[in-house]
Structure 1
């Protein structure tokens, strides 16, 4: 890990892996220090802000460096179930690449429990870990110029849902009517880091 100052009240931690980042985030979240004002996870980084400035950041560093990151605490988030119609434009391609049938793709995707590791790309877009190995596939060689809102997709080790129409290169397996982002809501984003997600297949 590499610690870098990020202004007077924050530090940016460069991590060796997504798993390490998630472990550090769990350690800090479980400790719940009141002076920590923000935790912003990324694929290989974690931004930590403290109202106590240098003193607070030093305490966080000591906490993390003394923690057993191989066995991080479990930090509870919300549980979200998304109803999906598995009719995506790339569903057959995903099945062919995996060497399995379309029905098995759906079974694998709905049978796993996912966790929101971090958010980004667009407001409300969560990067969900826990994708079964056969479904871990490359992005499309040529991204689409427009992906419909609510599209459920996979790419690499992640699955996710496009919260609004946008360009994108992930493989589309289905769609959901759930609203992933509403700026007028009390909680604008449906998904937040630490939440668990399950997909439920609709007929």
Structure 2
């Protein structure tokens, strides 16, 4: 089977109006790393181009929403400019970070871990080993501020959402559902399975960049004990803890 060229793939792109101040550039209809790469690449090109009237762009699993000022640019003109970015030869490089996130998987910090192990036919140690052995890709940020939707979970850990969602999920909870994993940045309702907790603050409105992670970043979880968790939590609270990360190319 002949692999399709980038130009042929670009022909599949749809431009969908979202009111009179936004446009959605849709690349497909599934959660897919290749689609995410195209979404993030267009976002990077758009930022580099600094098109008049463009306010911001918001990536999702399979599309990029572009907000614009209709007094500076109309939808038809913006669509033509975005098409030009898709077909342009010069590709703007996308940068990301690889984060190493401490995670406590002990029973006191992982209320659903034993249930997940039972339902998947694994031991709790095997569940933790699979989770910490995966480098996750952040597809998008959403639901609540700073909430990272990360894939792709090993097939053996794929489960549907809980039948009884919780009204309150503590901040820092590490969760899985479907083929995704996530971290709750603030206390909120949630229906995912809680298999661990991180002491790191993912969202802080006082920071220059409130959300710690961004779309396209990578995450690896590193197991810590309950006592190590408390040490990191205290250091995070007083601002003396710095989470390890490295700049990487997409």
Q: TM-score, normalised by structure 2?
A: 0.71
Q: Cα–Cα, structure 1 residues 92 and 24, in superposed 2: closer, same or farther, change >3 Å?
A: same
Deviates further, 54-63 or 94-103 = 54-63
Structure 2 counterpart of 1:6: 18
In structure 1, distance between residues paired with 2:83 and 2:66: 10
In structure 1, distance between residues paired with 2:139 and 2:172: 19
Which protein shows a greater Rg?
2
Matched, 1:191 2:213: yes
Q: CA deviation at 1:95?
A: 1.2
Query: Aligned pair count?
Result: 199
Matched, 1:157 2:179: yes
Deviates further, 144-153 or 16-25 = 16-25
Q: Which has the higher helix share?
A: 2
Matched, 1:78 2:97: yes
The question of whether the paired residues in 2 share the 8 Å contact of 1:50 and 1:57 is answered with no
Matched, 1:18 2:31: yes
Structure 2 residue corresponding to 1:170, chosen from 189, 192, 201: 192
Q: TM-score, normalised by structure 1?
A: 0.86
In structure 2, distance between residues paired with 1:118 and 1:150: 18
> CA RMSD, aligned part only?
2.4
SS in structure 2 of the partner of residue 77 of structure 1: strand
Identify unmatched segments of 5+ residues in structure 1: none
Q: Deviations over 1:29-73 (max 9, x none)?
A: 453322254221224432024577343431212443x48xxxx99
